[in-house]
Amino acid sequence: MALATAAAAASACGGDSKTSAADSTGAPTLRVALLTPGPISDKSWNGGAYDGLTALRDSLGAQISHIQTKTPAEFEENFRQYGAQGYTVVVGHGFEFQDAATRVAPSYPKTNYIVTSGRVTGPNLAGVAFLFEEASYQAGMIAGAVTKTNKLGLIAGTELPPVKASFEAFARGAKAVNPKVEVITSYIGNWDDVSAGKEQALAQIARGVDIIFQNADAAGLGIFQAAKEKKVYAFGTNANQNAVAPDVILGSVVIDLPKAFMLLGREVQSGAFKGRVISLGVKEDVVRLVLNPALSAVIPATAMAASDSVGTLLRTGTFDALKDLTVAADSAKPIAPAK
């Protein structure tokens, strides 16, 4: 993807500009670019990020650009293109963008690079660590109480450290309320193959799984299709996906990406941005479990109460059962399995 591609994407999003205009307050106009690893039509990870990008446009008057990238070479190329164009902020949306951002950021010190689900840092480089495992633990508690077969499925696109951490948290939450639970884990190999997602789900269901916790972006839509066909339950992730399949989705572990993007955008606009790891979780109300009211009758009241109690502890910063996962999400340190 060369400059022409990036410019076309910017034009399509109404984002690129050759001037450094100022808003009504006199502050320089933010120019924000977003690189996503998958399509923004996924109603999940990538779509949520694009919603965050448009929130910056609508609320802060930012000029925006978006481009979908597939390979590490494209990550780096587009990071450099946006830096050369003088963008204020470039967001690489996903753990996989860390290496490219680390290489490129020093070459464009006037551009702030941000990697979501990352922990890389530099003078103009920040990692945003979404504490997704927190609400994943709560979702596991719900699943452990609802399952009839005591078999829960975990399906993701690829085996990224933050995904593994959230899966482990889900398993711990389930086992906390139901020690008999068995967890079956599968990885599709990509994030956008809907048919492959459905196949993985059907294979797990054939093994007795009756609730699936998926983190598979667009491929997750195929998992929901399988759940509907076989009449089992599932969880949405990243965005509130409850309305995507309201008859089978018990709830969604949501990352409020528009809120996160607004927090970051205001910090940059005020001149207070510093390269660091920015942790956003339940305490900051960026990560949360949103249960589906259409299926609330399926969930035992005791399980809801237990999940709410954990939520209270998470908001006060006094829940300690996941601290090792927060560290292990971005290191080679092994994650202790759920007991």
pLDDT (tens digit per residue) in 31-48: 999 999 999 999 999 999
% of the chain residues with pLDDT over 90: 86
Residues 10 and 55 grouped into a single domain: yes
* 73 lies in the same domain as 92: yes
| Residue 119 burial class via C-beta count within 10 angstroms: exposed 0-12, middle 13-18, buried 19 and up | buried
Is residue 103 in a domain? yes
State mean pLDDT over 89-111.
Answer: 97
Q: Is the pLDDT of residue 336 over 60?
A: no
Is there a single domain that holds both residue 298 and residue 172?
Answer: yes
Q: Are residues 44 and 187 in the same domain?
A: no
Whether the pLDDT of residue 165 is over 60: the answer is yes
Same domain, 89 and 102: yes
Angle 100-102-108 from CA coordinates, rounded to 5°: 95
**Is residue 18 over pLDDT 50?**
no
Mean pLDDT of 100-106: 97
Residue 285 lies inside a defined structural domain of this protein: no
Average pLDDT over residues 301-330: 87
pLDDT at 337 over 90: no
CATH number at residue 317: 3.40.50.2300
**Residue 26's pLDDT band (boundaries 50, 70, 90)?**
low
Residues 310 and 192 in one domain: yes
Does 93 have pLDDT greater than 80? yes
Which has more confidence, 156 or 4?
A: 156
More confident residue, 339 or 192: 192
User: Are 201 and 102 found together in one domain?
Assistant: no
pTM of the full structure: 0.87
In a domain, 333, yes or no: no
Same domain for 62 and 117? yes
Question: In this model, does residue 49 exceed pLDDT 70?
Answer: yes
pLDDT tier, 75 (very low <50, low <70, confident <90, very high otherwise) = very high
- Residue carrying structure tokens 């204020």: 88
β-pairing, 287-291 vs 249-255, is antiparallel
Cα 267 to Cα 112: distance, rounded to the nearest angstrom: 11
- Check whether residue 96 and residue 164 sit in a common domain: no
Same-domain pairing of 173 and 241? yes
pLDDT for the residue numbered 11:
36
pLDDT of residue 339: 40
Tell me if 20 is assigned to some domain.
Answer: no
Residues spanned by the domain of 308 = 133-254+292-325
Is the same domain home to 231 and 305? Answer: yes
| Residue 62 token pair | 């930012």
Q: What is the pLDDT of residue 1?
A: 35
Half-sphere exposure of 335 (CA within 13 A, CB side): 26
Report residue 27's pLDDT band, with 50, 70 and 90 as the boundaries: low
pLDDT of residue 24: 52
Residue 17: is its pLDDT beyond 80? no
Ranking 4-8, 144-148, 238-242, 308-312 by mean pLDDT, the lowest is 4-8
Average pLDDT in the chain:
90
Do 116 and 263 contact (CB within 8 A), yes or no? no
- How many folded domains does the chain comprise? 2
**326 pLDDT band (50/70/90 cuts)?**
low
User: pLDDT value at position 15?
Assistant: 38
In a domain, 39, yes or no: yes
pLDDT of residue 285: 96
Query: What is the torsional sign of CA 210, 214, 220, 221?
Result: positive
> Is the domain of 317 the same as that of 175?
yes
Which residues make beta-bridge pairs with 212? 153, 234
